[in-house]
Structure 1
Amino acid sequence: MAVGSVLPLYNKRSGWWMLRRVFRSREKVLIFLLCLTFLFICIGPIFFLPDLRGGISTKVDHVYKVYKQMQKAGPELILPPPPRESGEELVGIRKHEGVYHNGGNSNQHNDIHLSDDKQRLLEKINNDEELRHMRVIEKPVVLTVSATPANKQNAAAQIDESIRLEKKEAGGGGGGHEENEIKVGYHGAENKGSGMVVQGGEDADPVARERREKVKEMVLHAWRGYKTYAWGKNELRPISKRGHTAGIFGRQDMGATIVDALDTLYIMGLTEEFNEGRTWVQYHLDFNQLRSEMSVFETNIRFVGGLLTVYALTGDPLFRDRALHIARKLLPAFDTPTGIPYALINVGNGIAKNYAWASGGSSILSEFGTLHLEFKYLSDISGDPVFREKVMRIRDVIRKTERPGGLYPNYMNPKTGKWGQRHTSVGALGDSFYEYLIKAYVQSNGKDIVAKEMYEEAIDGITKRLVLKSHSGLTYLAESKFDRLEHKMDHLACFSGGMYAMGAKSIQNENSKTHMEIAEGLANTCHESYARTPTGLGPESFRFTEGIEARALKSSEKYYILRPEVIESWFYMWRYTKDQKYRDWAWAAVMALEKYCRVEAGFSGIQNVYMENPQKDDVQQSFIFAETFKYLYLIFSDDSLISLDEWVFNTEAHPLPIEGKNSFYRKSQGK
């Protein structure tokens, strides 16, 4: 027998070579693909899923994070905001206060007043450190009476020390004077016997007194709801009974409602509530803790303006020093080639920017044009000229820039000083710029001639181009977009009745009679926007067409968020004309607020003023204290209470003293 037949020999016909002959080419390809897929499934996640690289401990930690994040998100998921219609434009900045306020991106809800809950939820999920220590449902925070006096004093001392250091770094600003030191427990006793009526002021009419008491009761109801469920938060969700923070306030709790409400509480003689607010300001209002973006405009009119008013009313230096503390945090926003400030600032790092949607990143007229009253007064009472210099530079840039068609566009590029798109409005985006021109003249006791001239030129262009009458004779303010008129008027623009009346009374000339007639017409039209709804409350915007007058057309225009502008106009018309209809209209608004906006824990806006049973938006805006309630209270008070001969209201209705006519102006030494 041959050897080869007994022992198997290795040759090219044996081993792996034989396997190659067994499988066909197609089968080889399939096997290769299966092996490749197996390797990808087993090894791929290591490279494509970073969270798996850290081993089991990292995975467990990640699961723990997700679990805690879901816990924190619980309240947001259980109580989501009312759904919005697609295409609804609610981008935030406020005119003043506003929604759209102002223009917008239909796919993005940055509404200043109706906060974007989705964004808030994302922010909470990203804040891992905070989530580790939170419960599923947060317990409402009430005034911290349990804190020891020593702890509270230490907290106040830390804030005071940081403010003193800021004064020193800023070059003094009066910081070396004894009068600038915060006096704990100071209550402004020096105001007694001054002759200025800032409390009391009951009207001789018993009906007016009764109605005024009702407004005070509404304030107490709203305040107690906020104190119980949202103390220290920016605003209250009175239905959900939890805190609310709109985008303009950043992401942190800065007590916007407390600061906005302080002067109203003081004027109404609500001493206990006022002292609660003062205590919070002393121990907790510290902008050094902020690390997120805030609206320069909103921070100025609400925080700086509110604190300046309470300082004027009480003489308590706590409020002046807090106002200085906050205003200095805003100054980096003015560091532009033109001095026109950016709209947003992160007070933690000083980085400022504009809204991306605002005409190529422009600044907004109603924002950079609404700083003058507060900054000028702040320089006068502190001795620090920087604030006055900032607003005077803004005014100088505006004056020197040519106006297309004699109208001020709503946007200006802070780098070039050139106007943005040609859109002019006395409503959102433009409104309070014009308001502050006439009010700067009034605040100066007639000495600010430049403000007077700018107002006269601006109001002349508006009167000729934008003041129109409907088919039935209703006076309204249109908007100009690229030289074409849009026959729409914002609720925000309803302040203009009061502005026209103030101009007619403050500047006596050949136009005064005409301007007073326009004021009466605008106040009446805005009343019609209320009267033509089942709720008796007016929409966010209303239009004038061949078939419709003073009514909203779009669903995104039909909401009411406790806005004050219509009532504001009636307040001025009552003070100037004494026509009883303005008090009657104001009382009708009180009853409408009671019926459709009052809930167990406060007051809420509504989503459709044309529905008999409208859905509520679950937000109690801070300006309901600063403006809506204050104007209603003053309408039913004697004219001596916060007299228009002695005070001028900022755009958030915080009254500031008129220089030379009001002993509460309180100029600093050497001014």
Structure 2
Amino acid sequence: MIRDPFDIHRKNRFQATTFRGAQNIRNTAAQAGVGALDMSFSIPNNVPNFGAPHRDLEDRAWAAVARRGGGGIINEVQGRVAGFFDQEELPMYKDKPYAYAPSMRRRTWWRRKRILGTIALGILTLLYLMRFIGPGQRRKSTSAWSWIGLSQEKGSSNWDERRQHVVEAFELSWDAYERYAWGYDEYHPFAKTGSNMAPKGLGWIIIDSLDTMMLMNQTKRLHHAREWLSKSLTWEQNQDVNTFETTIRMLGGLLSAHYLSTEFPNMAPLEDDDPGKPGEDLYLEKAKDLGDRLLAAFDSPSGIPYASVNLEKFQGIPSHADMGASSTAEATSVQLEFKYLAKLTGEKHFWDKVEKVMEIVDENNPQDGLVPIYLYATSGEFRGNNVRLGSRGDSYYEYLIKQYLQTNKQEPVYEEMWNESLQGVRKNLITYTEPSGFTIIGERPDGLDGYLSPKMDHLVCFMPGTIALAATGGLTEAEARKLPGWSKKNEGDMRLARELMHTCWGMYKYMATGLAAEITHFQIANPPLPESAPHDPPADFDPDHNAKWRKDFNVKSNDVHNLQRPETVESLFYMWRITGDIKYREWGWEMFRSFMNYTAVEDGGGFTSLSDANVIPPVVKDNMESFWLAETLKYMYLLFSPDDLLPLDKMVLNTEAHPLPRFEMGQMFSTGWKRKPRDANGKVIGGSERPKEPTEST
């Protein structure tokens, strides 16, 4: 049984002996009427699975294109032309049985030869009809997403149904990877190929997606993934891997899969995962093996982990760049994973190794709680003075508060360090844009005494959600306000979280596709306004291209790419759970629609990153990031889910969105260090000097 997208408005299904190519049908229907379906076509090489659940999503999309015409050839052509010229009416891509030429990716719809006849006829039709139709009667633009049957008006949203569309997007993504690149670490949706990061593959996409499949109850897909882990995955490979990325994605993914499969066995239950049977704990076994190998990175003179590690040789490897220094964020964002591994296995050295890193960082006397973005593994000294919350700095701050929450607030040293850091952000990095007054977090490339750069990586947009999480401890704002410890500081933190969330959403609204750039610059005063300065940004983003608020934003040509990053939707999830403000869900839904409209790949390819998200159609990058499945779609799913799914006061999400439980430390574990006394300026009293590393000038 085959569903033809241009015949659904007449009858939903019809029998066919051959597959009708969607592009051929489009041209035929537009030029000769929708009913002309008696032409024969050759069987394509890759016939889509029309029985798959995600076909309903696509069929409804294409049915809506037909419905907009209202019937008859004139109305049908009107609907097609409106779809081509109105950027908001681009439908969900349909599986195509023909090869998608790479050169077509950059070409606009109306330049493609196969539809020139349709366009010419459509233009003549529109010119003719406009002579008789008054302005008040002309059909208003409708979203391409009207096919889902949900009103876009506020207060009428069906969040369960929207969540199901996120599931369907995951299925489209996973099935494309499974079809064209199964077992490979990287997937290229347009080329329909995969590539590996190690000779036998590391399970980069598969492991990163395990807990997403569990949350979405993808039992069949999870079974296939688990089978690959059992039969194909080995860490015994002569391969250098990034210590941090492998920890947060692979180790974190395996530990999260273990946590969900044991604590929530009804999530995508597997028949062969019976408790008590030998070898049933596959996820933990693989995690323990990997953890032993990754721990070799910490065998440095200082205890700061080397940037890379050779899995087979159990050997840490200094960075090949940055004068051998490790990234500060990377060295300090592995603690959640190794502490949970220590708790599960009872092997205390996992805990001790990663906690030592936090002591070394603190003994470096970071000014105002803000850390430079590089650390030498040899000496434990910071390299340079660059301070930012973007790349190489971001998750250090995230893991301060999350370590405090992971052990049920039994390690107050990390809350103290978080509070110092947030105060340092307010003092040194917060300013406001001109002329509209948006709140931003800038950078200090030359140290805190240097100039403030008005640059924000998309990565910085983890901060609104993290601030809100820290302020309430994972409770709702209403619940937290009733606690005796609630203070003006908490109120101020929540206000800052809201303001930064607003700015991060503006980074999406600024771009033509509605998908944020990798980096955004802002217009600020000289000198920059202090955090205490009055500011009153517009509540809404006027869609007019000449709107005043757009003067505050600036995206440079080298920064227009969108890598399917999750940080903004991550914060939307936290802000919705904590504040209950429906606008955060609505923003997330609008973001999801933009991803569907502009990153979907034809011919069953799934979804891709973009090289340029500020033109329509966008320029594609031909790569699906593993965090598209592990984070972006997961946060979308959680944003549209009931609040009792992964409650924030019972678990923590690592920086790759892998949920881990909060737990009591018990008798075996404790904070293995104490902060040294500070003077009035926050400097360590009697702190020992570490040997200095050579600088670039020496």
TM-score by length of 1: 0.66
The SS at the match of 1:538 is: coil
Match of 1:286 among 230, 234, 257: 234
The SS at the match of 2:309 is: strand
Counterpart for residue 503 of structure 1? 470
After superposition, residues 630-669 of structure 1 pair within 5 angstroms as 630-660=634-664
Contact kept? 2:342, 2:349, Cα under 8 Å: yes
Counterpart for residue 353 of structure 1? 317
* Separation in structure 1 between the aligned mates of residue 199 and residue 241 of structure 2, nearest angstrom: 9
After superposition, residues 417-456 of structure 1 pair within 5 angstroms as 417-456=380-419
Contact kept? 2:368, 2:421, Cα under 8 Å: no
Q: CA deviation at 1:470?
A: 1.1
Contact kept? 1:338, 1:417, Cα under 8 Å: yes
Q: CA deviation at 1:405?
A: 5.5
Match of 1:555 among 547, 552, 557: 557
Q: Give the counterpart letter for 1:430 in structure 2.
A: G
Counterpart for residue 458 of structure 2? 491
Contact kept? 2:563, 2:610, Cα under 8 Å: yes
- The structure-2 alpha-carbon separation of the partners of 1:344 and 1:205, relative to structure 1 and needing over 3 Å to count, comes to farther
Q: Does residue 629 in structure 1 map to residue 633 in structure 2?
A: yes
For structure 1, the 5+ residue unaligned runs are: 1-203
After superposition, residues 334-373 of structure 1 pair within 5 angstroms as 334-358=298-322, 360-373=323-336
The SS at the match of 2:324 is: coil
The SS at the match of 1:480 is: coil
Q: Does residue 620 in structure 1 map to residue 598 in structure 2?
A: no
Across the aligned residues of Structure 1 and Structure 2, the Cα RMSD in angstroms comes to 2.0
Contact kept? 2:510, 2:550, Cα under 8 Å: no
Q: Give the counterpart letter for 2:643 in structure 1.
A: D
Q: Give the counterpart letter for 2:493 in structure 1.
A: H
Match of 1:210 among 157, 161, 171: 161
Q: CA deviation at 1:548?
A: 6.3
Q: Give the counterpart letter for 1:457 in structure 2.
A: E
Q: CA deviation at 1:252?
A: 4.6
After superposition, residues 21-420 of structure 1 pair within 5 angstroms as 207-245=158-196, 249-250=197-198, 252-288=200-236, 290-315=237-262, 317-358=281-322, 360-404=323-367, 406-420=369-383
Identity %: 36
Q: CA deviation at 1:348?
A: 2.0
* Separation in structure 1 between the aligned mates of residue 442 and residue 213 of structure 2, nearest angstrom: 37
* Separation in structure 2 between the aligned mates of residue 476 and residue 250 of structure 1, nearest angstrom: 39
Contact kept? 2:523, 2:552, Cα under 8 Å: no
* Separation in structure 2 between the aligned mates of residue 407 and residue 211 of structure 1, nearest angstrom: 40
Counterpart for residue 150 of structure 1? none
Counterpart for residue 564 of structure 1? 566
* Separation in structure 1 between the aligned mates of residue 522 and residue 287 of structure 2, nearest angstrom: 43
* Separation in structure 2 between the aligned mates of residue 351 and residue 656 of structure 1, nearest angstrom: 28
- The structure-2 alpha-carbon separation of the partners of 1:476 and 1:250, relative to structure 1 and needing over 3 Å to count, comes to farther
Contact kept? 1:341, 1:363, Cα under 8 Å: yes
Counterpart for residue 578 of structure 2? 576
For structure 2, the 5+ residue unaligned runs are: 1-154, 263-279, 474-484, 525-548, 670-698
Q: Does residue 527 in structure 1 map to residue 529 in structure 2?
A: no
Q: Give the counterpart letter for 2:515 in structure 1.
A: L
* Separation in structure 2 between the aligned mates of residue 405 and residue 647 of structure 1, nearest angstrom: 29
* Separation in structure 1 between the aligned mates of residue 565 and residue 195 of structure 2, nearest angstrom: 17
Q: Deviations over 1:262-317 (max 9, x none)?
A: 100011111111111111111122101x2121100000000100000110111252
Counterpart for residue 105 of structure 1? none
The SS at the match of 2:565 is: coil
Q: Does residue 476 in structure 1 map to residue 440 in structure 2?
A: yes
* Separation in structure 1 between the aligned mates of residue 407 and residue 419 of structure 2, nearest angstrom: 16
Q: Give the counterpart letter for 1:523 in structure 2.
A: M
Contact kept? 1:244, 1:619, Cα under 8 Å: no
* Separation in structure 2 between the aligned mates of residue 427 and residue 639 of structure 1, nearest angstrom: 29
Q: Give the counterpart letter for 1:236 in structure 2.
A: Y
* Separation in structure 2 between the aligned mates of residue 577 and residue 370 of structure 1, nearest angstrom: 27
Q: Deviations over 1:504-540 (max 9, x none)?
A: 1128444111111111111110100101111000000
Counterpart for residue 494 of structure 2? 516
Q: Give the counterpart letter for 1:303 in structure 2.
A: M
Q: CA deviation at 1:206?
A: 6.5
Q: Deviations over 1:552-606 (max 9, x none)?
A: 4322211001110010010000001111111111111111111110113111011
Counterpart for residue 546 of structure 2? none
Q: Give the counterpart letter for 1:439 in structure 2.
A: K
Count residues in correspondence. Answer: 456
* Separation in structure 2 between the aligned mates of residue 424 and residue 286 of structure 1, nearest angstrom: 38
* Separation in structure 1 between the aligned mates of residue 173 and residue 369 of structure 2, nearest angstrom: 44
Counterpart for residue 60 of structure 1? none
Q: CA deviation at 1:503?
A: 1.2
Q: Give the counterpart letter for 1:222 in structure 2.
A: S
Q: CA deviation at 1:244?
A: 3.3
* Separation in structure 1 between the aligned mates of residue 201 and residue 240 of structure 2, nearest angstrom: 13
Contact kept? 2:523, 2:554, Cα under 8 Å: no
Contact kept? 2:189, 2:605, Cα under 8 Å: yes
TM-score by length of 2: 0.63
- Greater per-residue helix proportion: 1
Q: Deviations over 1:122-160 (max 9, x none)?
A: xxxxxxxxxxxxxxxxxxxxxxxxxxxxxxxxxxxxxxx
* Separation in structure 1 between the aligned mates of residue 552 and residue 299 of structure 2, nearest angstrom: 42
Q: Give the counterpart letter for 1:535 in structure 2.
A: T
* Separation in structure 2 between the aligned mates of residue 251 and residue 505 of structure 1, nearest angstrom: 46
Contact kept? 1:539, 1:551, Cα under 8 Å: no
- The structure-2 alpha-carbon separation of the partners of 1:381 and 1:508, relative to structure 1 and needing over 3 Å to count, comes to farther
* Separation in structure 1 between the aligned mates of residue 552 and residue 232 of structure 2, nearest angstrom: 45
* Separation in structure 2 between the aligned mates of residue 655 and residue 439 of structure 1, nearest angstrom: 12
